[in-house]
Chain A
Amino acid sequence: MLELRLVQGSLLKKVLEAIRELVNDANFDCSATGFSLQAMDSSHVALVALLLRSEGFEHYRCDRNLSMGMNLNNMAKMLRCAGNDDIITIKADDGSDTVTFMFESPNQDKIADFEMKLMDIDSEHLGIPDAEYHAIVRMPSAEFARICKDLSSIGDTVVISVTKEGVKFSTAGDIGTANIVCRQNKTVDKPEEATVIEMQEPVSLTFALRYMNSFTKATPLSETVTISLSSELPVVVEYKIADMGYIRFYLAPKIEE
């Protein structure tokens, strides 16, 4: 028996919108720790890891570890039927081939339940080793989204370079080149508007902009984004989800062959 009640149901709606472009089908894993997902895109270039900790739910009952295969576009279709202020409850019985999403309006005058068919998904689970990153950049998520969108109108790839001067996003295409430098800026009114760079050593890596743009679908989840870079390692683009957890996107770099 599984029953997870999320008062801020809009978070789950935003999570689905953030990952459904990247991943079609995925297993949601439910355990005492929380509600989680790990999935790769179909090209095995990017990986998404989601965690919603059990403490973030108003009610969290998960009698035994359960893995539920879902088509994310179908799940998003159902969650779009929930109001932004609705409380969402996810329910499943042991051994059932369906999951139920229950939506309650804030004043309890409308209660809806949507039952969705589960699917068997043979997914690989990758071990993500702890890494010391050469550079960690924290910046406003909207600013990062703007940069990725702007650069993708010029080129297909972005070179992200971190030096003590700041973080530089560069691209080149048929019509020309573009460079955007963001300097560290801690003297802002609100901490979420700051750009903070922690650099152990300079790093420069090349990534496909198509994936970066896809990651920015998570922008509504968090005011800030953290970009962690190390030479020859996948970049980690992390959006924290309120007090509940995170979505982390890993993207393999383009490398010399």
Chain B
Amino acid sequence: LKAQARIERFFCNS
């Protein structure tokens, strides 16, 4: 089963 990743996992606060 796959879980939905959130976007902050890939892009950090700038």
Binding site for B on A (CB under 8 A): 40, 43-47, 124-129, 157, 206, 208, 233-234, 250, 252-257
Contact = CB atoms under 8 A, between A and B. Distances in A.
B8 A254 contact: no
Which of B8, B10, B12 has the most chain A CB within a 10 Å cutoff?
B10
Nearest to B8: A44
Contact of A255 (B2, B7, B11, B13): B2
A47 B13 contact: no
B6 A45 contact: yes
Nearest to A250: B7
Contact of B4 (A40, A129, A252): A252
Contacts of A250: 7, 11
A256 B13 CA distance: 24
Please classify how large the interface on chain B is, using the bins under 10, 10 to 19, 20 to 34, 35 or more.
Answer: 10 to 19
Contacts of A125: 13-14
A127 B7 contact: no
Contacts of A252: 4-7, 9-10
Contacts of A233: 10
A254 B12 contact: no
22 contacts: A40-B7, A44-B6, A44-B8, A47-B7, A47-B11, A125-B14, A126-B8, A126-B12, A126-B14, A127-B14, A129-B11, A208-B4, A234-B7, A234-B10, A234-B11, A250-B7, A252-B6, A252-B9, A252-B10, A255-B3, A257-B2, A257-B3
Contacts of B10: 233-234, 252
Contacts of A44: 6-8
A254 B7 CA distance: 11
A15 B11 CA distance: 24
B9 to A, nearest CB: 7
A200 to B, nearest CB: 19
Contacts of B9: 252
